[in-house]
Amino acid sequence: MRERGTNYWVMETDYEDYSIVMNCEGREDGFTVSYGWLLTREKDMRVLNPRRYDELLEKAKGYSTLWGRPEVITADNTDCSFDEESYWPN
């Protein structure tokens, strides 16, 4: 079994509103796969605060060309109404 360390890096955060997180994995076929997440406390930031979203996306672009690629997928967060207690009971 291969030992693995952390599978992501927090590139930047303000500890209150956002984090820019990245991951890069070398695959056995020789290709490298990169992932990036722009995590915000504001669920619908792209819609409710597009100026702030664009500002954070520009910060993320400073860490990797990944963020400007046309195949970047944005998640639809409109169905995220789970009850935290049902997932994380005390």
For residue range 23-67, what is the model confidence (pLDDT) as tens digits? 988 888 988 888 899 999 887 888 899 999 999 999 999 999 888
Residue 70 has a pLDDT of 82
**Pairwise pLDDT comparison (80 vs 41), residue with the higher score:** 41
**Pairwise pLDDT comparison (80 vs 21), residue with the higher score:** 21
The 3-state DSSP class for residue 48 equals: helix
Residue 57 has a pLDDT of 93
Distance set, CA 82 to CA 21, 87, 88 (Å): 23, 8, 11
Query: Could you tell me which residues come within 8 angstroms of residue 67 by beta carbon, excluding any fewer than 6 positions away?
Result: 36, 57, 60, 61
Please tell me the pTM assigned to this model: 0.73
Identify residue 13 by its one-letter amino acid code: T
Residue 1 has a pLDDT of 47
